[in-house]
Amino acid sequence: MRDLGVGFRYLLKGQRWVARHGKQYGFGLLPGLITLVLYVGALLVLGLWGADFVGWATPFADDWSSPWLGLFRGLLTVLLFALGLLLSVLTFTAVTLLIGQPFYESLSEKVDRDVSPDGTAPESDLPLWRELWVSGRDSLRIVVRALVWAVLLFALGFVPFLGQTVVPVIGFMVTGFFLTEELTAVALQRRGVELRARLALLRGRRTLVWGFGTPLGLAFLVPFVAVFLMPGAVAGATLMARDLLGEETRETRETGGHGGAGTSETPGTSSRPSPPIGPNAH
């Protein structure tokens, strides 16, 4: 359970880092603003025409008597909008990272240089178009996984009591996991860590991931908050990626491996992934 607090501290440290680097924060806001406009438009369409869609999709209920027809279709309309909102939260990070790939790559590199004992950062040897392709491909795979979970949780939401208590909690934990995967991917892809290895890393530290991603997912439900938290979330995820790979920082060197946000790094640890993880030979 200690990792829950550690993950949350990484989220706070990332926000503090961008607060000290105003120029990076300003550039990091642009992709989120673009994505926000797109998602708000989509949710407005869903809110305005969602009831019409439900009516079209349920012709078998046309002859139902009042109030059952209104209650049934009203419930489905609410659930449809809730599903759209959940999918927005699950996919917002992926779309924003894809749009802002050059912005967030630069921000993540600067975080690495700032905390690295020798002031260096791992650099990808792939051209920009290849990085965008890999990022888009992996993001699509994550979105498909997230959609499967979303549909499953949506169905379980109809189960009495569990659907109103346990399912929402699981939903936020799932959201937090996938948010963290997308955010740490910025730093891990630059190190050549492929998607399967990234998922293995995160599954090995689930409580750390939930401590970072679940509060972020909850915050993303508040309108406009996601835009302002994204730069700091990328910075915090970069710091957490270093922890996951056991990379040393200036802070851990100075404190003998026991400083920072409660990380598990030890002095002298290599900055490259361990052999079981393996680099991605794209």
Under DSSP, is residue 193 helix (H, G, I), strand (E, B) or coil?
Answer: strand
| CA 196 to each of CA 2, 202, 236, 279: distance values in angstroms, whole numbers, following the listed order | 26, 10, 22, 11
Please state, as a whole number, how many other Cβ atoms lie within 10 Å of the Cβ of residue 279.
Answer: 13
pLDDT digits (tens, 9 = 90+) for 166-218: 888 888 899 899 889 989 998 998 888 888 899 999 999 999 999 999 999 88
Mean pLDDT of 16-29: 88
For residue 110, give the nearest of 32, 181, 28 by alpha carbon.
Answer: 28
pLDDT of residue 80: 83
How is residue 216 written in tokens? Answer: 């972020």
Listing DSSP states for 219-279 in one string gives HHTSTTHHHHHHHHHHHHHHHHHHHHTT---HHHHHTTS--TTT----TT--SS--TTT-B
Q: pTM for the whole thing? A: 0.72
Q: What is the pLDDT of residue 184?
A: 93
Token pair of 99 as six digits: 């749009």
Q: What is the pLDDT of residue 126?
A: 64
pLDDT digits (tens, 9 = 90+) for 131-180: 777 777 887 888 788 888 888 887 888 788 877 788 888 888 998 998 89
CA dist list (Å): 76 to 73, 148, 242? 5, 19, 44
Most confident stretch, 18-22, 93-97, 260-264: 18-22
CA 148 from chain center: how many Å?
Answer: 16
